[in-house]
Chain A
Amino acid sequence: MSLSKELIAASTTPLVLSILAQRECYGYALIKQVRELSGDRISWSDGMLYPVLRRLEAQGLITSFWRSAATGRRRRYYRIEKAGKQELVRLQEQWNLVGNVLGRLWREDPVCSY
């Protein structure tokens, strides 16, 4: 089962912020981690992530910096900012709310009281 494009797009920001809340990371590693965590079911098209990272950086949620990788090449890493952590909390509440509502609807008998 693969996710719809809309759901993938909507979940990109919380996924990126959640990973960066744990550790600094670079683009390719972000994609790999999401792929592994979802068992290959959330598969971002590779090029799509970088404009999203640019947008999050422009919004002040994350910052980027260059660091030498083990290969000696310079690589752009990302870290979450304070505003990004606040945004992540807000997104967690929203996604939890949607998850809870859907969970209740799907567990209980559908009774419409109106």
Chain B
Amino acid sequence: MFILNAAIRSWRQRLGDQPDIQAGDLDELADHLREGSADLNVSGLSEEEAFLVSARRLGDPEALAGEFATAEPGLRRRVRLRWMLVGALAMLVLRFLGDVVADLSTGGLAFMSVGTPVLGWTSGLLRLTIFVIGGLVIWRILASDATAMRIRNFGIWSLGMMSILVIALAFVVAAATMHGGTTWFLARSVNPAHLPDLAYVTYWLRTGLLLLLPVVLILMLWGLVRHRRKSD
């Protein structure tokens, strides 16, 4: 038995594999397909025939994607740049979160008079853990079909980007405030003689994390490109 919604979903998936057709275009074309099918159905064709004729009129996915690519040659690059921006913002937020949690715990340990090397390693390990786990979670969320669907349904892409920017900014401001607070707390709690050692260990751990950034970013982008627009 023919089910129109299932047929349109399957058609969308085939078209969604084309890298030059964006999520909004898919929605628009699917709407066209639906309305065209309805018109043909009213004029006497069966639902299945109407769908097939309407899909045929829209053209085959490869040819359609070629037309879209010609119409807007730089689009694919711009979309990738946007995703890179999202990835960079995510990294920024994660770094700040990692700093805050690590500093809070370091401050707590210092308050309990634990030795300086332990403080440094604890801080570094916490940052690394938060960075890796947070990165994996964000990757999973961004790459999931459901999120792609939600972003598209949110409507205007720029509005979605604006929301991400605002959320990231809020995170950064909050984290920076907490960061300042914990630094002040550390300066008061840790023995000044131990501060150079603490700074040395923390510096190398932070450098190590920074070296991981491009690798994680590339992995995230690879995941996004692979899973892009297979929603619905």
What is A's interface to B at a CB cutoff of 8 Å? 26-28, 45-48, 50-52, 54-55, 58, 65-66, 69, 73-76
What is B's interface to A at a CB cutoff of 8 Å? 24-25, 27-29, 31-32, 34-36, 54, 57-59, 63-64, 67-68, 70-72, 75, 153, 155-156
Q: Are A28 and B35 in contact (CB under 8 A)?
A: yes
Closest beta carbon of chain A to B171's beta carbon, Å: 29
Pick from A28, A45, A46, A66: contact of B155, CB under 8 Å = A66
Residues of B within 8 A of A26 (CB): 31
Interface-centre pick from A45, A46, A48, A69 (highest chain B CB count, 10 A) = A46
Closest beta carbon of chain A to B9's beta carbon, Å: 14
Q: Are A47 and B71 in contact (CB under 8 A)?
A: no
A114–B27 Cα gap in the complex (Å)? Answer: 58
Closest beta carbon of chain A to B56's beta carbon, Å: 9
Q: Are B24 and A58 in contact (CB under 8 A)?
A: no
Residues of A within 8 A of B35 (CB): 28
Q: Are B31 and A47 in contact (CB under 8 A)?
A: no
Residues of B within 8 A of A48 (CB): 59, 67
A28-B35, A51-B67, A55-B71 known; A46 vs B27 contact (CB < 8 Å): no
Q: Are B58 and A47 in contact (CB under 8 A)?
A: yes
Closest beta carbon of chain B to A63's beta carbon, Å: 11
Q: Are A74 and B27 in contact (CB under 8 A)?
A: yes
User: Can you sample 28 A-B contacts with CB below 8 Å?
Assistant: A26-B31, A27-B28, A28-B32, A28-B35, A45-B59, A46-B36, A46-B58, A46-B59, A47-B57, A47-B58, A47-B59, A47-B63, A47-B67, A48-B67, A50-B25, A50-B29, A50-B68, A51-B67, A52-B71, A54-B25, A54-B71, A54-B72, A54-B75, A58-B71, A58-B72, A65-B156, A66-B155, A73-B31
Mostly helix, strand, loop or mixed at chain B's interface?
helix
Mostly helix, strand, loop or mixed at chain A's interface?
helix
Specify the chain A residue showing the minimal Cβ separation from B34. A73
Closest beta carbon of chain A to B51's beta carbon, Å: 13
A54–B70 Cα gap in the complex (Å)? Answer: 10
Q: Are B57 and A46 in contact (CB under 8 A)?
A: yes
A34–B117 Cα gap in the complex (Å)? Answer: 77
Closest beta carbon of chain B to A8's beta carbon, Å: 14
Residues of A within 8 A of B155 (CB): 66, 74
Q: Are A51 and B71 in contact (CB under 8 A)?
A: yes
Residues of A within 8 A of B75 (CB): 54
Q: Are B24 and A76 in contact (CB under 8 A)?
A: yes
What 4 A-B pairs come out closest when comparing CB atoms? A47-B59, A51-B71, A51-B67, A55-B71
